[in-house]
Amino acid sequence: MARENQAEKALCLLRSRLCDPNFAFKALSHSDDSNYSKLKFLVSSSITEACNNSILLLGPRGSGKIAVLELVLSDLLQEFPDMISVIRLSGLLHSSDNCAFKEIARQLCVEHQLVFSRMASFDDNSQFMIAMLRECGLAHKTIIFVLDEFDLFALGKQRLLYSLLDAMQSVTSQAVVIGVSSRLDADMLLDKRVRSRFSHRKLLFLPPAYEDIQRLLEHILLLPTDSSFPPDYAIAFNAKLQTILADERFKEIINTYLNLDSTVKHLLRYLFRAVSDMDLESGMLSLENFKTALSNIQRHPKLECIKDCSVLELYILVCMKRLEVKEQNSYNFNAVMKEYKSIHDSVKTADYFARNVCLRAFEHLLQRELIGFADNRGQNQSIEFSPVKLLISSHELHQGMKSYGSCPAILQQLMDRQK
Amino acid sequence: MPTIAKRSLELNEDIMAAQSESTLDAVPSAGGSPPPRRRLRSNSSPMKLSPISKPMKLGSPRKRLSTCVNTRANGIEKYFTQKKVQTLCKSVEKPKWNLKDSKQISEVKEALHVSTVPSTVSCREDELKRVLEFLKQCIYVCGCPGTGKSLSIEKVKQALVDWAGEAGFEEPDVLALNCSSLTKTSDIFAKILGKDQTPKEVKSKTSSLQLLQNLYSQKPLYSRRKMTLVIADELDFLITKDRVVLHDLFMLTTYQFSRCILIGVANAIDLAGRFLPRLQSLNCKPMVITFRAYSYDQILRILQQRLISLPYTVFQPPALELCARKVAAASGDMRKALCICRSAIEILEAEVKESAENLNSSSVVDAFFEQQTATAPAPVVKKQETDVVTIGHMASALSKTFKSPVVDTIQSLPQHQQIILCSAVRLFRGKKKDSTVAQLNKSYIDICKSTLIPPVGIFEFSSMCRVLNDQGLLKLGGQSRDEKLKRVTTNAADEADITFALQILLMLDTGGSHFPPASKFKYKVRNLTFYSSLEIHCLDYELCISYFELHESEPWRN
């Protein structure tokens, strides 16, 4: 019983760690060469030297741009308690200039305990922002603008970017503009005036190397050996985990998984899955957890669908496939029936069913979305006459049939013959 | 302003005072002369001819305006001696550093910042002279971004006000506005009107434009009225479809009793000709003054001039020359040159910090105290080497600025995404420039088969395509609900990048790492004899691209 409690507690701890992106990225941010330290150096030197700067964070989604930025900002807020105020904008919400200026004015008002009026016009808001920048410059307070989805701000006339970057060109204001984007060519999207005012600093968030991933895994999965867990349990858990991490097969699994998408978030999602499968009785992670997590995450729903099909339905699918191969691009149920009959005539199979039974099977396939109507007008006509198309690829069909328990050999031959 | 005042320019004496007390400072204890690299730049630099200075952007500098408006050597001297006493420094972030370096570094960064207004002008004397001569008519100033237009106009404004004061005329009203901040284009007239002292007739239906027109066509009630100098920055925001506003604006200067001088600033050289054809016939075509992009000499001169006020050498001359040459060749944008210089300094800073930390961890601090004379020579040598910005720092700053992140990202993509890019390039190699996801999938499966890598299912495939779309490497379009029918395209420029990036991967020896990105590609590459490490500078990149175009290699073979 006590063992299970410990296991549950351990599971809770691991899951909460995996759900918190800040925790994961702390492990990756120790070296001097990491993006965390570069960003921190840049922003803190801008604050202390009171000069303006702009920087762009680029990287695929889930590579930790916002997480690292939040780490840096929280550290800086502790180091310089009264010298920073942060304004956050998102390209998805505030891409229109009016909205953006209103939001900036509102956040500035909230920070400095002023009263925000919703009736203020665009002009008023922009004047307010420039005045606030000047005031904060005089008071040596740096305003940090965080522009999420930066490439969406670069649509249209780019007035917001222009006024922000223009305001930063004068000595009277102290601001740092941090743009975050997943598009690599985000700075090419800028207007030439805006690009000239933007200091071409870019931080690229690349996927971590294997040593970093190893370190990350240890950081997240090893239990703390302090008093929160009974020492023998924690030590046993950690030892088991280290053996798993050193195992070649584990590396193979991680390798396969990261070949699809090597961002950290993707890895965390996988680890969550693996950890949730932990066996609560033994209270230890095992290699099997990781293996099953991999197969669970990489699902092929259509293949699984095929496994549930009946033989008649498989026949129908194969007929449709043959029709497609014969370059008949638009066919309906009647054509499929003709093909089915012709198959039966050429190869005497035992699976010849009546038309209404086939229609039922056809409808099942439609419901399961293995096939679908070729155009939307087919809703009004009856099923028999509306053109249909296959919604799974021949590759998947082939694979599905291979893994089907009792697929008649005829079908396989029929598939292959036309290839 | 306290911080500004604190950031004082240092003199030799200050340096030496700091030197003697810092512990890790690699200063030769012999005498008070600084190491030979830090020679004092003589303050008796040749004075620039024209008194009008050339700051970089709008906004009067807080600290220098009062003391350095007229640049004279003794003015700077005076400034030096005044500020000598300030020793407090805001270097909280670098406790281990010797104070000298951090203060000077912030000095240098300040001097090179885009928003700092230097006190002397250079390379724009001609343009400014022309502007001053032709202030009677309306003027249109054009040029690429970063060529000093707004800045020079600011100084012209200053000069005009001064001149009017000296010559006994009434000082003109100045209205400087940025047309991008106007909500409606016709608001500009309201702003011009606001400057004039006319009775407020806003309640009536007449628009501000009409009021202005009335005003300027009638003889003024009182004998003299103030001139209004209107400086309209970013004039192309006023261009509407019917070009009425722009036209009326320039027409305002043609009225008989017009009291306004208009200076318009924009980027397009032919704005006047293209959008205001009727002005030619009315004989009031604006005077067009083009600010050309800076040449190599000009950039170098401006950079040197900014650094001339500092009493120490920061850059090696070849480094400055490289920066000026590269920027002049690329765009002639002064802001870029300043940015690059500042990032070169940051690279140097990082390096010194790293070496200081190494020094920290390796050397024995106590021993240093005791044997100051004995251990001094070794660290001195190291410090001397890294104290100035060398051409290596500048080259890496240049490559960071000019290099596109595409090549790096492609090299670090996961394997299947690289295969997708390969299949995209192969698919679009012929005339076909766009296709569907389903065909891309086919091409992808073909490549996977030929390299014996198991392909992934359609779901993972389309999510990978979406990831590549987010990054801007592929373009997914189309509104089809069915994933398979989405159109896929890729940029032509990216093809070269992709080719280049993947070729480099094929030649890298990944040896022993657990994620060998290229070892499973069984492609053969012909005749590629160059080798490069992962860090490819911008200069080499262009060379490599031309190499590929020359050889037209066909890498996708089994």
Does A138 contact B115 at a Cβ distance shorter than 8 Å? Answer: no
What three-state secondary structure class fits A208? coil
| In chain A, domain spans | 2-16+209-297, 31-204, 303-418
CA distance linking residue B5 with residue B83, whole number of Å: 8
Q: How far does the CA of residue B489 sit from the closest CA of chain A (Å)?
A: 16
pLDDT of amino acid B38: 34
Token code pair at residue B462: 């389309």
- What average pLDDT does chain B have? 64
CA distance B418 to chain A (A): 10
User: Is the CB of B404 less than 8 angstroms away from the CB of A49?
Assistant: no
> Is CATH 3.30.70.1060 the classification given to domain A303-418?
no
CA distance B339 to chain A (A): 6
The three-state (H, E, C) secondary structure of A170-200, written as one string: CCCCCEEEEEEECCCCHHHHCCHHHHHHCCC
Question: Which DSSP helix (H) or strand (E) runs through B194?
Answer: helix B187-195
Q: Are strands A388-390 and A371-373 parallel, antiparallel or unpaired?
A: antiparallel
Our CA-based measurement puts residue B225 at a distance from the nearest CA of chain A, in whole angstroms, of 30
User: What letter does residue A56 receive in the DSSP assignment?
Assistant: E
More confident residue, A317 or B226: A317
Inspect the interface and report whether the beta carbons of B145 and A300 lie closer than 8 Å: no
Half-sphere exposure of B226 toward its Cβ, with a 13 Å CA cutoff?
A: 18
- Pick from A195, A196, A207: CB nearest B412: A207
Structure-derived torsion over alpha carbons of residues A248, A252, A257, A258, reported in degrees to the nearest 10: 80
Nearest to B339 among A182, A200, A262 (CB): A200
Question: Which regions in chain A score pLDDT beneath 50?
Answer: 419
Tell me the shortest Cα–Cα distance from B77 to chain A, in angstroms: 23
Per the rule left: phi > 0, alpha: psi between -120 and 50, beta: everything else, A158 is left
Residue of chain A whose alpha carbon sits nearest to that of B401: A200
* Most confident residue range from B86-90, B206-210, B546-550: B206-210
pLDDT for A25 equals: 86
Per the model's pLDDT, the better-predicted residue between B176 and B217 turns out to be: B176
Higher-pLDDT residue of B242, B223: B242
Higher pLDDT, B395 or B439: B395
Dihedral (CA of B92, B97, B98, B104) sign:
negative
The residues that bridge with A220 in the sheet, in sequence order, are none
Tokens, residue B542:
């262009």
CA–CA dist A355, A360 (Å, integer): 9
Please check whether residue A40 touches B, CB under 8 A.
no
Amino acid B362: pLDDT: 60
Q: Is A162 on the interface with B (CB under 8 A)?
A: yes
In the block, tokens 């240049």 appear at B398
Among residues 76-115 of chain A, which lie with CB inside 8 Å of chain B?
Answer: none
Please tell me the predicted confidence (pLDDT) of residue B55: 35
Instruction: Assign B354 to helix, strand or coil.
Output: helix
As a whole number of Å, the CA-based R_g of chain A is 30
Strands A202-204 and B228-233: unpaired
Which residues of chain A lie closer than 8 angstroms to B346, CB-CB?
A: 41-42, 45
> What is the pLDDT at residue B222?
59
| Block residue for tokens 């350095």 | B68
Question: In this complex, is the C-beta atom of A184 within 8 Å of any C-beta atom belonging to chain B?
Answer: yes
Q: How many CB atoms lie within 10 A of CB B143?
A: 21
pLDDT at B535 over 50: no
Strands (DSSP E) found in B237-376: 260-266, 287-291
Q: Provide the chain B residues 230-259 that lie in CB contact (below 8 A) with chain A.
A: 234, 237
Q: Is the pLDDT of residue B93 over 80?
A: no
Tokens matching residue A255? 């390798």
Which of B7, B90, B9, B62 has the alpha carbon at shortest distance from A48? B90
In this structure, which long-range contacts are made by residues A397-400, counting pairs with CB atoms below 8 Å and at least 24 apart in sequence?
Answer: A397/A306, A397/A317, A397/A318, A397/A321, A399/A303, A400/A302, A400/A303, A400/A305, A400/A306, A400/A307
CA A164, A168, A169, A171 dihedral sign is positive
Give the orientation angle of helix B391-402 with respect to helix B334-362, to 10 degrees: 120
Quick one: pLDDT at residue B51? 35
A259/B414 CB distance under 8 A: yes
Question: Hey, are the CB atoms on B414 and A260 less than 8 Å from each other?
Answer: yes
pLDDT score at A55: 92
Pairwise pLDDT comparison (B213 vs B448), residue with the higher score: B448
HEC profile of A327-367 = CCCCECHHHHHHHHHHHHHHCCCCCCCCHHHHHHHHHHHHH
pLDDT of residue A180: 94
Q: Which residue of A has its CA nearest to B63?
A: A171
Give residue B135's pLDDT band: very low, low, confident or very high (50, 70, 90).
low
Lowest-confidence region among A277-291, B254-268, B511-525: B511-525
pLDDT in tens, B19-38: 333 333 333 333 333 333 33
β-partners of residue A55 are A178
Please give the residue that has the higher pLDDT: either A2 or B150: B150
Contact B408 A206 (CB under 8 A): yes
Highest mean pLDDT among A58-72, B375-389, B472-486: A58-72
The verdict on a CB contact (< 8 Å) between A184 and B412 is no
pLDDT band at B87 (very low <50, low <70, confident <90, very high): very low
Q: What is the four-CA torsion angle of A161, A167, A173, A176, rounded to 10 degrees? A: 20
The strands making up B487-489's β-sheet, listed across from edge to edge, are: B435-436, B487-489, B475-477
Q: What is the pLDDT of residues A206-242, one digit of tens each?
A: 888 888 888 888 888 888 877 778 888 888 888 988 9
| Top-confidence residue, B333 or B310 | B333
Phi and psi, residue A92, nearest 5°: -75, -35
pLDDT grade, residue B61 (50/70/90)? very low
Q: Which residues are registered as beta bridge partners of A147? A: A89, A179
Out of B180, B335, B456, whose CB is closest to A196?
A: B335
- Residue B283 phi, psi dihedral angles, 5° rounding: 65, 30
| pLDDT score at B508 | 47
- Maximum CA extent, chain A: 92
What residue in B sits closest to A200 (Cα-Cα)?
B401
d(C-alpha A374, C-alpha A387), whole Å: 6
B window 10-49, beta carbon within 8 A of A = none
- Give B21: exposed, middle or buried? Use CB within 10 Å, 0-12, 13-18, 19+: exposed
Concatenating the DSSP letter of every residue in A234-303 gives HHHHHHHHHHHHH-HHHHHHHHHHHTT---HHHHHHHHHHHHHT-BTTTTB--HHHHHHHHHHHS--HHH
Residues of A in contact with B115 (CB under 8 A): 51-52, 168-171
pLDDT-based confidence at B506, cuts 50/70/90? low
Eight-class DSSP state of A374: S
Kindly tell me if the per-residue pLDDT of B50 is higher than 70. no
Select the more confidently predicted residue: B504 or B4. B504
Chain A contact for B170 (CB, 8 A cutoff): no
Q: Is the pLDDT of residue B194 over 80?
A: no
pLDDT of B382 strictly over 80: no
Give me the pLDDT at residue B486, please: 59
pLDDT digits (tens, 9 = 90+) for A109-159: 998 888 888 888 888 888 888 888 888 888 888 999 999 999 999 888 888
Per-residue pLDDT tens digits for B413-431: 888 888 888 888 887 777 6
Nearest to B416 among A126, A259, A299 (CB): A259
Q: Name all domains of chain B by residue range, CATH numbers in brackets.
A: 95-120+296-359+386-402 (1.10.8.60), 125-196+208-291 (3.40.50.300), 405-508 (1.10.10.10)
**Res B230: pLDDT:** 83
The verdict on A116 touching B (C-beta cutoff 8 Å) is no
Residue B170 pLDDT grade (very low, low, confident, very high; cuts 50, 70, 90): confident
At residue B92, does pLDDT exceed 50?
no
Q: Inform me whether the C-beta atom of residue B495 falls under 8 Å from chain A C-beta atoms.
A: no
Report the mean per-residue pLDDT for chain A: 85
CATH fold, domain A31-204, is: Rossmann fold (3.40.50)
Three-state secondary structure call for residue B121: coil
Is A249's Cβ below 8 Å from some Cβ in B?
A: no
User: Residue A112 has what DSSP assignment?
Assistant: T
Chain A residue with minimum CA distance to B4: A50
| CB contact at 8 A, B110 and B338 | no
Which three-class secondary structure string do you get for B425-459?
Answer: HHHCCCCCCCEEHHHHHHHHHHHHHHCCCCCCCHH
CA separation for the pair A317, A371 (Å, rounded)? 8
Q: How far is CA B137 from CA B98, B119, B125, in A?
A: 57, 28, 20
The region of weakest confidence among A202-211, B230-239, B529-538 is B529-538
Residues in chain B: 558
Least confident stretch, B93-102, B177-186, B214-223, B348-357:
B93-102
Burial of A231 (0-12, 13-18, 19+ CB in 10 A): exposed
Taking residues B387-411, report their average pLDDT: 84
What's the pLDDT score for residue A393? Answer: 77
Dist. CA A174–CA A134, nearest whole Å: 8
Where does residue B484 rank: exposed (0-12), middle (13-18), buried (19+ CB within 10 A)? middle
DSSP SS3 for B280: helix
Kindly report the length of chain A.
419
Q: Span B74-101, mean pLDDT?
A: 30
Give pairs for A73-79: CB < 8 Å, separation 24+: A73/A144, A73/A146, A75/A40, A76/A40, A76/A43, A76/A44, A76/A47, A79/A44
User: Is A355 in CB contact (< 8 Å) with chain B?
Assistant: no
3 state DSSP class of B191? helix
Q: Which of B94, B115, B179, B535 to mutate to test the interface with A (most CBs of A within 10 A)?
A: B115
For the segment B361-373, the average pLDDT, to the nearest whole number, is: 49
Give the residue on A whose Cα is nearest the Cα of B520: A259
